[in-house]
A and B are shown apart, each in its own frame.
Chain A
Amino acid sequence: MIVTHYNYWIAMVLMMIGLYVVMSHANLVKKLIGLNVFQVAVFLLYISLGKIENGTAPILDAAFTTYSHPLPHVLILTAIVVGVATTAVGLALAVRIHEAYGTISEDEALQRDQQERDAA
C-alpha cells in the first residue's frame, strides 16, 4: 500500500498545506501563493495517475512500445498556463485593494468597510 500509493499521499499532503495557507492567512498575496501550492499539488496528482510501469514519454518511436498516458499531460500543460494567467488577475486585484485600502490584509480591509458602514 505504502509503496504503491505514497505518490498520491504526498500530493495530498501538499494540497492540504496549500489549503491551510489559503484559509489561515489574512494576507492576500500569501493566500495566492498558497493557492499556487495547492494547484501544483493537484498537477502532481494528475500526472502520477498517467504514469505506467517501464513506460516512456508519449513521443512515438520504433524503439519503444510502452508509453505513459498523454491525456493528463495535455490537460495539465494547458492548466499551468491558464493558472499563471488567473494568478496574475488575482495579484492585480490584490494590488488594487492595496491602493484602495492601504492594506492587503483581508481582515483589515473588512474592518474598514465595517467602520465606514457604521459611520454612515
Chain B
Amino acid sequence: MSTLLIDIALFTILTVIGLAIARIRQLFAVAMLSGLFSLTCACIFVLQDAVDVAFTEAAVGAGMTTVLFLGALALTRSREESTPRSRSLPAMLAALATGALLIYASLDLPGFAAADAPVHRHPLTARYLQDSPSEIGIPNVVTSVLASYRGYDTFGEVVVVFTAGIAVLMLLGRGAATSVSAPARVQPLHQQNRVLRVVAKLLIPFILLFALYVQFHGDYGPGGGFQAGVIFASGLILYALVFGLDAARAVAPLAVLRGLASLGVLLYGGVGVATLLLGGAFLEYGRLGGGDALAGQHLGILLVELGVGICVTAAMILLFFSFAGRGAGRPGKTDE
C-alpha cells in the first residue's frame, strides 16, 4: 500500500513537471525542471530495484545534462517565442495518435512485475543470476553483465562518448582556444561570495573521494566507471563554477583531458587486444589471470571499468569546458 502511494505521488510529480516543461517559455526554468524530472525518475528507478541506473540518472540527468542546458542557454537566448497554433495543433494530434497506438500495444505486455513474464523465464536470466558467481565471481550482476558478458556493447558505448566529446570540441573548440587569455567578463564567483568558496572547498575533496569509491566499489555495490566518471567530472565542474574557468583549466589543461579521453578508450581496447594475444577471444578476461579464470575476470573488469571512468571523466569535463569557454570568450553579450 505504501509503495502504491509513493508511486502515485512520484508519477503525479513527473507528469506535472512534464506538462510544465511543455508549457513554460522561460527556458532557464525549463532546464531546471528537466533536472528535477530526472531526479524524480531516479527515485522511481530505486523503487524498481534499478539502483545502478538510479545512480547514473541522478548524476547525469539531474547534474550534467542540466549544466549543459544552462551552458547552451547562456550562449543563445533564454526566452522562447510563443508557439503558433498552426504548429501546435498537428503536433498535438500526432502525439495523441502515437500515444493511443502505444497504449493499445501495451495491452499485450505482461503485467508490471509479474513473476512469470517472459523476461524472467528466459534461460539467459538464470545464466546471469545463478551462474555469474562461478563464472565472473562478483556480487553485482549489473557490473558482470556490463563489463564482461556484454563487454563489446559497453566498448561501443565508450567509443560513442569519446566521439561525442570530439564532435563538441570540433564544433565549439575554436572559441575555447581563444578565450584562455581573454579576460572573463563576469567576476569569478569566489570573489563575490565567501560562503560559496568555503563550502566548495569543503565539498570538492569529498566529491572526488566518493567518485573513487564508486569507481572501485562497483563490483560489490551500485557503481562503476560510468557513474564515477560523471561524479568526478562534477567535482571539477563545481570548482570551475566557483573559482572561474581559468583556474579549472590550470588544474585540468585541455591537452591532458584530450589525452585522458583517448587513454580511456585505448585502455579498454588494449585489454581486448591483450586477451587476443594471450590466445583468447577479444575481451575474454579469463585469460588474464594465468591459470585462474576468476582472477582474470577481476583484473579485466577492474581495468575496463577504469578505462570507462577515465574516458567519461575527461569527456564530461571537455563538454563543460567547450560550452563554458565559448561563453567566456565572447565580449559583453547582450541578452534580450
Contacting pair A59 B315 (CB below 8 A): no
Contacting pair A47 B48 (CB below 8 A): yes
Segment at the interface with A among B37-45, B186-194, B201-209, B252-260 = B37-45
Name the B residues within 8 Å of A111 (CB-CB): none
Residues in B157-195 with C-beta less than 8 Å from chain A: 157, 160-161, 164-165, 167-168, 171-172
Residues in B187-224 with C-beta less than 8 Å from chain A: 220-222, 224
What number of A-B contacts does a CB cutoff of 8 Å give?
288
A96 at the interface (CB under 8 A from B): yes
- Which one of B18, B45, B50, B96 contacts A37 once the chains associate, using CB atoms below 8 Å? B18
A21 to B133, CA, bound (A): 45
Residue of A nearest to B24 (CB): A30
Contacting pair A13 B41 (CB below 8 A): no
Q: Which of B53, B92, B107, B326 has the most CB of A within 10 A?
A: B53
- Known interface pairs A60-B139, A84-B64; A5-B160 also in contact (CB < 8 Å): no
Bin the interface of chain A by size. Answer: 35 or more
Contacting pair A58 B99 (CB below 8 A): no
B95 at the interface (CB under 8 A from A): yes
Residue of A nearest to B101 (CB): A12
Contacting pair B141 A53 (CB below 8 A): no
Name the A residues within 8 Å of B120 (CB-CB): 52, 69
Distance from B46 Cβ to chain A, minimum over Cβ atoms (Å) = 9
Contacting pair A16 B164 (CB below 8 A): no
Contacting pair B139 A21 (CB below 8 A): no
A88 to B161, CA, bound (A): 10
A15 to B48, CA, bound (A): 19
Distance from A48 Cβ to chain B, minimum over Cβ atoms (Å) = 6
A109 at the interface (CB under 8 A from B): no
Contacting pair B56 A71 (CB below 8 A): no
A12 to B101, CA, bound (A): 10
Residues in B232-261 with C-beta less than 8 Å from chain A: none
CB-defined interface of A29-51 with B at 8 Å, one 1/0 digit per residue? 11011101100100110011111
Name the A residues within 8 Å of B94 (CB-CB): 19, 23
Segment at the interface with A among B81-89, B262-270, B296-304 = B81-89
Distance from B24 Cβ to chain A, minimum over Cβ atoms (Å) = 10
Contacting pair B56 A80 (CB below 8 A): yes
- Known interface pairs A24-B92, A29-B27, A30-B30; A53-B21 also in contact (CB < 8 Å): no
Residues in B73-115 with C-beta less than 8 Å from chain A: 73, 75-77, 80-81, 83, 87-88, 90-92, 94-96, 98-99, 102-103, 106-107, 109, 111-115
Give 6 new A-B contacts, CB below 8 A, not counting A37-B21, A80-B56.
A5-B111, A30-B30, A37-B37, A68-B49, A85-B161, A105-B81
A-B contact pairs, 24 of them (CB 8 A): A5-B109, A14-B18, A33-B69, A36-B61, A36-B65, A37-B37, A40-B41, A44-B45, A48-B112, A49-B119, A51-B48, A55-B49, A59-B221, A67-B49, A70-B145, A72-B50, A77-B142, A77-B224, A84-B60, A84-B316, A87-B65, A91-B68, A92-B168, A92-B172
User: Lowest 4 CB-CB distances: which A-B pairs, in order?
Assistant: A4-B111, A85-B164, A24-B91, A23-B91
Interfacial residues, chain B to chain A (CB-CB below 8 A): 7, 11, 14-15, 18-19, 21-22, 27, 30-31, 34, 37-38, 41, 44-45, 48-53, 56-57, 60-61, 64-65, 68-69, 71-73, 75-77, 80-81, 83, 87-88, 90-92, 94-96, 98-99, 102-103, 106-107, 109, 111-115, 117, 119-120, 124-125, 128-129, 132-133, 139-142, 144-146, 150, 153-154, 157, 160-161, 164-165, 167-168, 171-172, 220-222, 224, 226, 229-230, 312, 315-316, 319, 322-323, 326
